[in-house]
Amino acid sequence: MRKIAKYFLVLIGFTSCGGGERVSKEVFEEVNKNMEVKKLSEAEILEEAMIWGDSISTEAQMELISQLQNAISERGVPGAIEFCSVSAFPILTEVGKVHGVAIKRASNRYRNPADQPDPQEQPILEAYEYNAENGIKSDPNIQKIEGGEVFLYTKPIVIPGGLCLSCHGDPGRDINSETLAKLAELYPQDQAKGHQVGDLRGMWSLRIPKKEVVKRM
């Protein structure tokens, strides 16, 4: 399958180099023939982007949860807050860099103000919130942005279990006083408390360049 991508890119290279290079008729026809036989449709590229978005966001989630569990067992819950505050962003940046995509989490009930949705994410997040309020299950979503050159992949983040409540649950009942003090110190605008298991906490947001998807096919 990699071969198709190569032909595809080669063809783009030919057509976009501004006429400086001449391509022999034979080479051009060969590439064209391969394009026709193995041409990737927009629907196929979109489907691949969806599968890839699912797999990268799952990988990022597993990475965050496993490092969070380590931090909690080493330093306790209040100590792990500092870990989240310092490390969540670099961990996601690293996972994104490996795959050539930009990855973040967005929430309207944010803890870190940097996780507020941007204008492209906001309507999707609102749809997820509407579904959550009305008991409708939300699915991952993918749409074209930047004139079709980038795919915006999103997936709801639902609180899966009690582990999360020690920092996102009810103050007093789920969150102990030492943890509350640490949260107040680091996140004076915190809106990410008071959750229960099953609540919508936010969403994954991945910006996947189309060319990175095509490279994989």
Compute φ and ψ for 174, nearest 5 degrees: -100, -35
Residue 51: count other Cβ atoms within 10 Å of its Cβ.
13
Judged by CB under 6 A, which of 112, 120, 131, 141 binds ligand HEC?
112
Check residue 111 for interaction with ligand HEC (CB under 6 A): yes
* Residue 40 near residue 49, CB atoms below 8 Å: no
- By beta-carbon proximity to ligand HEC, the closer residue of 158 and 214 is 158
Check residue 115 for interaction with ligand HEC (CB under 6 A): yes
Check residue 89 for interaction with ligand HEC (CB under 6 A): yes
* Residue 11 near residue 31, CB atoms below 8 Å: yes
- By beta-carbon proximity to ligand HEC, the closer residue of 113 and 123 is 113
For the chain, give the number of residues: 217
Check residue 105 for interaction with ligand HEC (CB under 6 A): yes
- By beta-carbon proximity to ligand HEC, the closer residue of 68 and 208 is 68
Compute φ and ψ for 153, nearest 5 degrees: -100, 130
* Residue 103 near residue 205, CB atoms below 8 Å: yes
* HSE of 22, CA atoms in CB hemisphere, 13 A: 3
Could you tell me the smallest distance in angstroms from the CB atom of residue 77 to ligand HEC? 5
Taking CB under 6 A as the rule, which mask of x and - marks residues 142-171 in contact with ligand HEC? ---------------x-xx--xx-xxx---
* Residue 124 near residue 155, CB atoms below 8 Å: no
Could you tell me the smallest distance in angstroms from the CB atom of residue 176 to ligand HEC? 11
Judged by CB under 6 A, which of 85, 120, 141, 176 binds ligand HEC?
85
Could you tell me the smallest distance in angstroms from the CB atom of residue 75 to ligand HEC? 9
Cα(118)–Cα(49) distance, integer angstroms: 21
What would the two tokens of residue 49 be?
């982007």
Where on the chain is the footprint of ligand HEC (CB under 6 A)? 65, 68, 77, 80-81, 84-85, 88-89, 105, 107, 110-112, 115, 157, 159-160, 163-164, 166-168, 192, 201-202
